[in-house]
């Protein structure tokens, strides 16, 4: 009885190990998956030959070189030297009036078949019926005039195997009538593009697709309108500051599409005013790609009279408007069938900014960039803000322009002409009035310049200038030390309210010849979260140390008492980072050990075996603190 149970278990396990599931993909390729997700090798039958396809990946293989939409494909799957053959289901369809007949080749094994169907109302295949394993056909009745897709699956004890998909073509091939696109409009309140059209006259229209042509003439879909009664659309994806070439087409229940409508552009209006005395120059584009200039109406509204009135007509694509003698904002738009965007001009009499504060200047880690934080009155639209810079005892010069953005907090990075650790920089911001005339100037602010005195190489003296922002208080300074090229892992040494600090490094032994420092001013309080979180960094400066190098003449790797004698390692400190190399050779020239780490030495072993007593050769190379390449070498003794 036990032997019988074991045989049954073996047969079940064998069947599970060799079970496979497959699906014929839409493009005719076949994806095969082991039922237990195990690995297998695969072959495909070609007439009387077997073609090796390769091994599975994570229990799956997709045969991309076959088209199982054209016929059944036979495979051989091998697991643990045991091969099993199977063929994919190949489904065919025949249509006779309203009758749809599905047929497929009989399967050698399995429990039953499942029939799936997808109609135009469905987004995926949906179960339709089950068919006994003894049958290999199924009859369905057509409902509607649109495309229908079918698929057959073979269900066994392990999984469901899917045939190719077959299509019953639609009988309705009549394209719907073309909708009529109306001139593109802009909502004056929301300043969003509004697309309107006259509906298609076809009875079976099911919706519309709105498209936009890019600058290369390539059509892209903006949105699909599934409500066939809808005849307008607000385009959230359209930028009113850009020309949007819009077209539309209709589709019916069977996804037949109408011809494209005519293409219309939105009118993009721009206004340019040289100064307060000059007229406003308005210019715009034609609303249709093929349209000659027609009559354009120009409308205006003011804060005192917010209702738009027509002030001029023209057949040109531009017009110069003499601004009325009013205070506040004046709004303009152009209309030719559809409205343009609104251009607003603030004609307040030479309004100046109420405040311009240079809140912080922080030096970047490379000493070649200064990051400025500015807080200003953004309620007045000006042409931009001028960054003024002074170097050492020189004069302020305009070095860059920050464009108007409408934001009160601005951040700007200035590229420095010389390193910030070698020169003292001072900054100021100049902001013009709305007519570009009278300037409002910010406070001046000098970033922290750190200086290092390494005369006493055990006690490094740091000093820096006081940092004096006007909009926030400095609570103190954080002093940081870091290794070369490792700014992000800087070590906080001290927080102090002084402008100097002495770093006692008597007990510090460094592998590199330079130790870097920077100072950060900490905000006691600030309305700017960037300043509260990040403070203001000084320039970086470094202390340079004289290289120390010593090599012992002997070592005993098997010494059981003196641990320091067990490793042969040069004592090498304060060398240029990334230049150290140490190698050990035997007399035959074989490299027994090598490293680029100053903290690692040779333990006397080669290939995990202790080397014999004798004389060995070392070679050490590095760049010292003076920038000179050093190559050291010599002999040393290995003894018991």
In this structure, of 128-137, 277-286, 412-421, the range with the lowest mean pLDDT score is 277-286
What is the arithmetic mean of pLDDT over 522-548? 80
Location of each CATH 2.60.40.10 domain in the chain:
91-168, 180-265, 270-346, 356-544
Helix (H) or strand (E) run with residue 7 in it: helix 2-18
pLDDT of residue 1: 43
CATH class of 270-346: mainly beta
- The winner for highest mean pLDDT among 248-262, 509-523, 530-544, 557-571 is 248-262
Q: Give pairs for 288-297: CB < 8 Å, separation 24+.
A: 288/183, 288/262, 288/263, 288/264, 289/245, 289/263, 289/265, 293/317, 294/336, 295/336, 296/334, 296/335, 296/336, 297/334, 297/335, 297/336
C-alpha–C-alpha distance, residues 332 and 301, integer Å:
7
Location of each CATH 2.60.40.1220 domain in the chain:
548-638
pLDDT score of 12 more than 50:
no
pLDDT of residue 432: 82
C-alpha–C-alpha distance, residues 151 and 141, integer Å:
15
In this structure, of 62-66, 130-134, 430-434, the range with the lowest mean pLDDT score is 430-434
Q: What is the DSSP letter of 264?
A: E
In this structure, CATH architecture of domain 2-87? Sandwich (2.60)
CATH code of the domain made up of 180-265: 2.60.40.10
What is the arithmetic mean of pLDDT over 436-452? 88
pLDDT score of 217 more than 50:
yes
Identify the band that residue 576 occupies on the pLDDT scale cut at 50, 70 and 90: confident
Higher-scoring residue by pLDDT: 383, 307:
307
DSSP letters spanning 222-247 = EEEE--TT--EEEETT--TTS--EEE
Identify the band that residue 526 occupies on the pLDDT scale cut at 50, 70 and 90: low
| Assigned superfamily of 356-544 | Immunoglobulins (2.60.40.10)
Higher-scoring residue by pLDDT: 215, 401:
401
pLDDT of residue 437: 59
pLDDT score of 6 more than 70:
no
Strands 629-638, 591-595: parallel, antiparallel or unpaired by DSSP?
unpaired
Please give the order of strands across the beta sheet that includes 384-391. Answer: 397-403, 384-391, 425-432, 439-441
pLDDT of residue 509: 56
pLDDT score of 304 more than 50:
yes
pLDDT of residue 150: 96
The CATH T-level fold of domain 91-168 is: Immunoglobulin-like (2.60.40)
**In a 10 Å sphere around its CB, with 0-12 CB exposed, 13-18 middle and 19+ buried, how is residue 145 labelled?**
middle
What is the arithmetic mean of pLDDT over 554-563? 85
CA distances from 296 to 314, 315, 332, 432 (A): 5, 6, 13, 35
C-alpha–C-alpha distance, residues 275 and 86, integer Å:
83
In this structure, of 222-236, 291-305, 332-346, the range with the lowest mean pLDDT score is 291-305
pLDDT score of 350 more than 60:
no
Residues 6+ positions from 303 with CB-CB distance below 8 Å: 326, 328, 329
DSSP letters spanning 416-432 = PSS-TTTS-EEEEEEEE
pLDDT of residue 313: 94
Given 3.40.640.10, 2.60.40.3880, 3.30.70.260, 2.60.40.1220, which CATH number is that of 548-638?
2.60.40.1220
pLDDT score of 19 more than 60:
yes
């Amino acid at each position: 009885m036990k032997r019988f149970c074991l045989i049954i278990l073996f047969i079940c396990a064998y069947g599970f190990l060799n079970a496979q599931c497959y699906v014929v993909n839409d493009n005719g390729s076949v994806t095969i998956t082991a039922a237990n997700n195990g690995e297998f090798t695969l072959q495909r039958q070609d007439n009387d030959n077997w073609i090796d396809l390769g091994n599975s990946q994570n229990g799956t293989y997709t045969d991309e070189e076959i088209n199982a939409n054209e016929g059944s494909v036979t495979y051989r799957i091998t697991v643990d030297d045991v091969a099993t053959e199977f063929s994919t289901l190949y489904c065919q369809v025949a249509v006779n009036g309203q009758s749809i007949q599905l047929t497929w080749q009989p399967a050698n094994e399995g429990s039953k078949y499942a029939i799936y169907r997808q109609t135009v109302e469905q987004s995926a295949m949906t179960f339709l019926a089950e068919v006994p394993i003894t049958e290999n056909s199924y009859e369905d009745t057509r409902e509607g005039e649109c495309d229908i897709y079918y698929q057959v699956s073979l269900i066994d004890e392990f999984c469901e195997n899917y045939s190719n998909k077959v299509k019953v073509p639609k009988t309705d091939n009549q394209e719907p009538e073309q909708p009529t696109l109306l001139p593109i409009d802009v909502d004056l309140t929301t300043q969003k593009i509004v697309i309107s059209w006259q509906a298609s006259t076809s009875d079976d229209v099911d919706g519309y697709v709105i498209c936009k042509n890019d600058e290369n003439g390539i059509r892209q879909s903006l949105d699909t309108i599934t409500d066939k009664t809808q005849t307008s659309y607000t385009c959230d994806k359209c930028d009113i500051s850009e020309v949007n070439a819009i077209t539309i087409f209709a589709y019916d229940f069977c996804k037949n599409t109408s011809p494209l409508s005519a293409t219309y552009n939105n009118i993009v209006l721009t206004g340019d005013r040289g100064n307060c005395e000059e007229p406003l120059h308005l210019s715009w584009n034609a609303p249709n790609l093929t349209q000659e200039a027609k009559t354009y109406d120009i409308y205006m509204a003011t804060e005192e009279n917010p209702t738009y009135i027509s002030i001029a007509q023209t057949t040109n694509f531009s017009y110069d408007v003499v601004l009325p003698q009013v205070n506040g904002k004046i709004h303009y738009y152009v209309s030719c069938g559809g409205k343009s965007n609104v251009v607003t001009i603030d004609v307040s009499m030479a309004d100046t900014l109420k405040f311009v504060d240079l809140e912080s200047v922080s030096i970047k880690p490379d000493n070649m960039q200064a990051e400025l934080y500015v807080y200003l009155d953004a309620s007045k639209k000006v042409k931009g803000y001028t960054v003024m810079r002074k170097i050492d005892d020189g004069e302020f010069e305009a070095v860059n322009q920050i464009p108007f953005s409408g934001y009160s907090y601005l951040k700007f990075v200035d590229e420095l002409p010389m390193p910030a650790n070698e020169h003292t920089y001072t900054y100021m911001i100049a902001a013009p009035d709305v007519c570009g005339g009278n300037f409002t100037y910010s406070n001046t602010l000098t970033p922290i310049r750190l200086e290092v005195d390494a005369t006493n190489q055990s006690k490094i003296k740091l000093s820096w200038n006081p940092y004096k922002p006007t909009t926030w208080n400095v609570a103190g300074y954080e002093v940081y030390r870091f290794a070369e090229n490792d700014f992000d892992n800087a070590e906080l040494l001290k927080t102090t309210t002084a402008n100097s600090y002495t770093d006692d490094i008597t007990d510090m032994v460094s592998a590199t010849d330079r130790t870097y420092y920077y100072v950060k001013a900490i905000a006691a309080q600030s309305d700017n979260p960037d300043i509260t979180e990040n403070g203001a960094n000084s320039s970086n400066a470094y202390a340079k140390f004289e290289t120390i190098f010593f090599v012992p003449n002997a070592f005993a790797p098997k010494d059981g008492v003196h641990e320091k004698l067990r490793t042969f390692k040069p004592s090498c400190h304060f060398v240029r980072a990334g230049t150290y190399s140490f190698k050990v050779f035997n007399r035959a020239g074989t490299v027994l050990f090598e490293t680029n780490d100053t903290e690692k030495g040779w333990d006397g072993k080669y290939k995990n075996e202790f080397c014999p007593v004798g004389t060995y050769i070392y070679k050490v190379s590095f760049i010292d603190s003076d920038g000179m390449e050093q190559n050291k070498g010599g002999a040393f003794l290995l003894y018991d």
